[in-house]
């Protein structure tokens, strides 16, 4: 039925019934729903739209990921140091080492496409005792480490103890020690990592 005929019918029913009986809006609602669906189908393919929406929800940009990683990196580092080491080296670590960790993470994640950034995660448990591991960043999809951050105790002859911060990357099969910096401890042997 043509638009003008429908409108005329609505007006005629309203006038004849003195407004007591109003025509059903089902005719109008059905027509509008069909038009809305046609417009939607014209602009979006349902599968394509949901895939795009899911991809947007699961992606991070490099800046968001870097901020997230740096917050976790600082926490994991302090957890590793424990209450005996942290108060002694915390300021130097924050000034010298943390900015270098940020640069290393930034350089590494820039090599990843934006849509894969959401799969990068940071490990949650540093190693205690004499272990070197502070944290690793790994790809959750395949479980492989991308970058490993470590600290080792160095004791050069006739000198005190140093904490040597470094990292390894998957790009050279973790062979190279990429230096982040060193912090002097003391002539005395430092306590074990995470000791209380």
Residue 195 lies in a domain: no
**Longest CA span, the chain:** 110
The 3-class secondary structure across 58-70, one letter per residue, is CCCCHHHHHHHHH
Lowest mean pLDDT among 45-49, 112-116, 146-150: 45-49
Task: Tell me: do 21 and 68 sit in the same domain.
Answer: no
Q: DSSP letter string over 111-134? A: TS-GGGGGGEEE-S----BT--EE
Residue 88 lies in a domain: yes
Q: Tell me what the mean pLDDT of segment 137-147 comes to.
A: 92
Question: Residue 50 — pLDDT band, cuts 50, 70, 90?
Answer: very low
Per-residue pLDDT at 17? 64
Q: What percent of the chain has pLDDT over 70?
A: 69
Task: Tell me: do 35 and 104 sit in the same domain.
Answer: no
Per-residue pLDDT at 48? 44
Per-residue pLDDT at 113? 79
Exposure b/e, 152-190, CB count within 10 A at least 16 = b: eeeeeeeeebbbbbbbbbeeeeeeeeeebbbbebeeeeb
Per residue in 149-191, pLDDT (tens digit) is 999 999 998 899 999 999 999 888 889 889 999 999 999 999 9
Task: Tell me: do 168 and 76 sit in the same domain.
Answer: yes
Residue 57 lies in a domain: no
User: Which residue range forms the structural domain that includes residue 28?
Assistant: 3-43
Residue 87 lies in a domain: yes
Task: Tell me: do 16 and 72 sit in the same domain.
Answer: no
């Amino acid at each position: 039925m043509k638009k003008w005929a429908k409108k005329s019918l609505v007006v005629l029913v309203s006038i004849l019934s003195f407004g007591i009986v109003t025509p059903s809006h089902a005719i109008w609602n059905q027509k509008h729903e069909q038009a809305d669906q046609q417009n939607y189908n014209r602009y979006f393919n349902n599968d394509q739209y949901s895939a795009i929406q899911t991809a947007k929800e699961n992606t991070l940009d490099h800046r968001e990921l870097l901020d997230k990683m740096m917050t976790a990196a600082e926490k994991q580092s302090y957890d590793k140091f424990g209450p005996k080491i942290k108060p002694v080296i915390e300021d130097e670590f924050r000034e010298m080492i943390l900015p270098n960790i940020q640069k290393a993470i930034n350089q590494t994640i820039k090599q990843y496409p934006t849509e894969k950034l959401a799969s990068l995660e940071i490990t949650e448990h540093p190693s205690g005792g004499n272990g070197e591991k502070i944290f690793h960043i790994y790809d959750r999809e395949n479980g492989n480490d991308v970058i490993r951050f470590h600290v080792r105790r160095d004791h050069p002859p006739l000198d005190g103890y140093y904490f040597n911060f470094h990292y390894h990357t998957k790009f050279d099969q973790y062979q190279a020690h990429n230096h982040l910096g060193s912090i002097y401890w003391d002539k005395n042997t430092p306590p074990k990592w995470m000791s209380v």
